[in-house]
């Protein structure tokens, strides 16, 4: 039986032209998106009543979705709207007071207050995305709303919580504003997000590594590899170079360098302060598009035609044309994951764009319809085992279906 369902979330206007930033999972699978603005005090009104009428409603255009950061941009058919501005999330500090705005459990235009618990929380080792962790009460419905500092600047976009009860337990996570601002800019301009690289393998300097290489410092970032012919190689960087700073910001570890390059706009030049032996050098490197960006197929799919709801993905059957655009695969039949439309539970394994699915719980999958059929009869209370190929390696992945009960 097919029927209509409704879901709700929050968002924030960040441009007077009507651009709204929210979470991708808030609008996942939506046939239409309605945005309801809070009621504003009209000009000339004394504004003494604590009760407000209903605000204006708009049907919003979905400008673009970025599954990797779980962010989406909407456009309202209106101009001159009040908007907030971004703050610098790199300046956010542990213990800082912040406010969360949104519609928790449908209670519109609510605000809660708390502190920043951690400034760069990474939940999965291989995930380049980091979050601001906060104990500000965040509940279902807050997703997509702004995390705001005491100066009224947006320093994050509230994205998800960790909870055993389903409600706020003081562990909430927000996408940092410096990442969100870049996503908003790219989605608003081109409808998709390109991410960059400078073609290096960076490593965190440990005291043991510093001692073994006779380095003058026992912390920071060293380049273990500079890929031949890549952007860094063309700029003159070499293996063994120590990266002191990126665009004037001190680099304390390899993860910090990766995250800061991750959010740079493709084509921009980044300035690196480099220590080579005893010489301090200043070098500029052009950020280029990551090779074989797994998100590149997302423009070819739609929620209507390509959604596999129980896996929370948009997928497409392998054919000769798509196979030519992929690295050599171990098999010639399967289903390519083009994008995620629902985030996995934090800490869980998840299907990623670029994965090629070969089987589900022992059932071979040849095409998209075969994948839908394979997952349709699975028990939601038990994990599914997906056999897939990722970066040239065939592996098993244990995942939970999207319609499972809270556990």
Active-site pick, 15, 25, 66, 273: 25
302 vs 373, more confident:
373
Q: How confident is the model at residue 177 (pLDDT cuts 50, 70, 90)?
A: very high
pLDDT of res. 15: 87
Out of 109-118, 257-266, 303-312, pick the least confident: 257-266
What pLDDT does residue 46 have?
56
Does residue 102 have a pLDDT over 60?
A: yes
**88 has pLDDT over 60:** yes
Residue with tokens 């040849």: 366
Residue 25 annotated among the catalytic residues of the structure = yes
Whether 332 is catalytic: no
The pLDDT score that the predictor gives to residue 407 is 35
Q: pTM for the full model? A: 0.64
Minimum mean pLDDT among 140-154, 164-178, 350-364, 387-401: which range?
Answer: 164-178
| Given the residues 70, 149, 199, 293, the one annotated as active site | 70
Spatial separation of the C-alpha atoms in residues 58 and 36, rounded to whole Å:
7
Q: Does residue 326 carry a pLDDT above 70?
A: yes
Confidence of residue 405 (pLDDT cuts 50, 70, 90): very low
Mean pLDDT of the region 387-407: 78
Q: CATH 1.20.120.450: does it fit domain 294-399? A: no
Average pLDDT over residues 36-43: 65
What separation in angstroms does the CA of 262 have from each of 158, 177, 313, 353, 360?
A: 20, 14, 23, 17, 32
Q: Of 89, 110, 143, 168, which residue is the catalytic one? A: 143
More confident position, 281 or 25: 281
Q: Do 277 and 194 form a contact (C-beta atoms < 8 A)?
A: no
Average pLDDT value for residue range 8-28 = 90
Determine the Cα–Cα distance for residues 218 and 372; give it in Å rounded to an integer.
Answer: 52
Whether residue 357 is predicted with pLDDT greater than 50 in this model: the reply is yes
**In the predicted model, is pLDDT for residue 344 greater than 70?**
no
Does residue 22 register a pLDDT over 60?
yes
Tell me: pLDDT of 406 over 50. no
Determine which of 50-64, 80-94, 289-303 has the lowest per-residue pLDDT on average: 289-303
Q: Residue 335: which pLDDT band, with cuts at 50, 70 and 90?
A: very high
What average pLDDT does range 286-306 have in this prediction?
76
For CATH 2.40.10.10, the residue range(s) in the chain are 89-190
Please state which CATH class domain 89-190 belongs to.
Answer: mainly beta
Residue 42 has pLDDT above 60, yes or no: no
Residues carrying CATH 2.30.42.10, the chain: 196-289, 294-399
Is 70 catalytic? The answer is: yes
Architecture of the domain made up of 196-289: Roll (2.30)
Averaging pLDDT over each range in 131-140, 144-153, 265-274, 373-382, which range is the top one? 144-153
Phi, psi dihedral angles at 336 (to 5 degrees): -90, 130
Residue 404's pLDDT is what? 46
pLDDT at 343: 62
Asked if residue 16 has pLDDT above 70, the reply is: yes
Q: Could you tell me if 204 and 215 are in contact, meaning their C-beta atoms sit under 8 angstroms apart? A: no
Higher pLDDT among residues 245 and 189, named by residue: 245
């Amino acid at each position: 039986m097919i029927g209509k369902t409704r879901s709700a979330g929050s968002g924030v206007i960040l441009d007077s032209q009507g651009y709204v930033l929210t979470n991708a999972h808030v609008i996942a699978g939506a046939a239409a998106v309605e945005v309801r603005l809070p009621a504003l005090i009209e000009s000339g009104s004394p504004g003494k009543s604590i009760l407000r009428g209903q605000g204006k409603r708009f049907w919003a255009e979905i400008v673009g979705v970025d599954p990797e950061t779980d962010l989406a941009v909407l456009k309202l058919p209106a101009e001159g709207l009040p908007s907030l501005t971004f703050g610098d999330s790199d300046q956010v500090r542990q213990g800082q007071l912040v406010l969360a705005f949104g519609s928790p459990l449908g209670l519109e235009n609510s605000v809660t207050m708390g502190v920043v618990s951690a400034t760069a929380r990474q939940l999965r080792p291989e995930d380049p995305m980091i979050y601001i962790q906060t104990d500000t009460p965040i509940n279902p419905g807050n997703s997509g709303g702004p995390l705001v500092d005491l100066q009224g600047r947006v320093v994050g976009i509230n994205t998800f919580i960790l909870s055993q009860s389903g409600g706020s337990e003081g562990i909430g996570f927000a996408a940092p504003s410096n990442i969100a601002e870049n996503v908003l800019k790219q989605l608003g301009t081109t409808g998709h997000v390109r991410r960059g690289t400078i073609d290096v393998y960076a490593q965190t300097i440990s005291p043991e590594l510093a001692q073994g290489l006779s380095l003058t410092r026992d912390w920071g970032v060293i380049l273990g590899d500079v890929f031949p012919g890549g952007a860094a190689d063309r700029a003159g960087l070499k293996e063994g170079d120590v990266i002191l700073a990126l665009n004037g910001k001190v680099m304390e570890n390899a993860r910090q360098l990766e995250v800061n390059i991750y959010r740079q706009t493709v084509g921009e030049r980044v300035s690196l302060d480099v220590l080579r032996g005893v010489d301090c050098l200043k070098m500029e490197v052009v950020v280029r598009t990551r090779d074989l960006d797994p998100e590149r197929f997302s423009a070819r799919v739609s929620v209507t035609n390509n959604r596999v709801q129980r896996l929370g993905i948009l997928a497409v059957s392998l054919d000769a044309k798509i196979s030519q655009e992929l690295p050599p695969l171990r098999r010639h039949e399967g289903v390519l994951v083009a994008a995620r439309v629902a985030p996995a539970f934090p800490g869980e394994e998840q299907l990623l764009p670029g994965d090629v699915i070969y089987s589900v719980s022992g059932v071979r999958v040849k095409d998209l319809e075969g994948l839908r059929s394979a997952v349709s009869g699975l028990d939601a209370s038990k994990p599914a085992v997906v056999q897939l190929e990722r970066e040239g390696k065939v592996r098993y992945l244990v995942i939970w279906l999207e319609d499972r009960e809270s556990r």
